[in-house]
Amino acid sequence: IAGITQAPTSQILAAGRRMTLRCTQDMRHNAMYWYRQDLGLGLRLIHYSNTAGTTGKGEVPDGYSVSRANTDDFPLTLASAVPSQTSVYFCASSDSDGGLNEQFFGPGTRLTVL
Amino acid sequence: GQNIDQPTEMTATEGAIVQINCTYQTSGFNGLFWYQQHAGEAPTFLSYNVLDGLEEKGRFSSFLSRSKGYSYLLLKELQMKDSASYLCAVMDSNYQLIWGAGTKLIIKP
């Protein structure tokens, strides 16, 4: 693995189904983030984690949950998908212990909820 | 509320110079980032400004004026591969990034 990976690349999901988007990084970054990107809108933060074992809510957390059991993995779960959750989802990570705090992004997951 | 404004779309000619502006109003300021995003791909980091002034990186430069809540990204000697969206983001007082909607830059031969 080099950088951040996300799975699946794309998914079509029936409304009401449960779905987990996976994110793994190998850079030993302490902070990780989940964003959604919709046409005409900026990236919007869903949830974040500043370090393993802690999580926080972003701008648009409703309908989503996350966990951070270890440094590398940060899965995002949609408990009961709705069509408004159709979006492109990006996972990102950063080394927030001083320095630039630049965020590195995974390739994204394109999710369609019907 | 927090707000980042940038033009929706710009067009420029190959070999020319283009300036993409960004204005912001945020709760606190801990730096401003510019990212490039090609269609269907992830954003990638271009530049970071935390102090007023110009930061130059090859063909790309970024300027910041904190008192005016203003930044611009300057791209010189435009190439066709520079066709992409350019995202402005400000790190607020909670060290979270607030993102603009992005500027789609179209380069014509």
Query: Which residues in chain A have Cβ-Cβ distances shorter than 8 Å to B45?
Result: 102-104
CA dist B63 and A77 (Å) reads 39
Is the pLDDT score of B18 beyond 90?
Answer: yes
pLDDT band with cut points at 50, 70 and 90 for residue A101: confident
- Smallest Cα distance from B13 to chain A, Å: 24
CA dist B54 and B70 (Å) reads 12
Mean pLDDT confidence for B15-22: 98
When the pLDDT of each residue in chain B is averaged and rounded to a whole number, the result is: 95
Please tell me if residue A108 touches chain B, with a CB cutoff of 8 Å.
yes
pLDDT at residue A1, rounded to an integer = 55
pLDDT at residue A19, rounded to an integer = 97
pLDDT band with cut points at 50, 70 and 90 for residue A99: low
pLDDT band with cut points at 50, 70 and 90 for residue A98: low
Is the pLDDT score of B69 beyond 60?
Answer: yes
Q: Mind listing the pLDDT tens digit for each residue in A32-47?
A: 999 999 988 889 999 9
Is the pLDDT score of A6 beyond 70?
Answer: yes
CA dist A60 and A104 (Å) reads 20
Is the pLDDT score of A87 beyond 60?
Answer: yes
pLDDT at residue A93, rounded to an integer = 96
Letter string b/e over residues B41-66, b meaning 16 or more CB atoms within 10 A of that residue's CB = ebbeebbbbeeeeeeeeeebbbbbee
- H or E stretch covering B86: strand B84-91
Please tell me if residue B33 touches chain A, with a CB cutoff of 8 Å.
yes
Is the pLDDT score of A96 beyond 80?
Answer: no
pLDDT at residue B35, rounded to an integer = 98
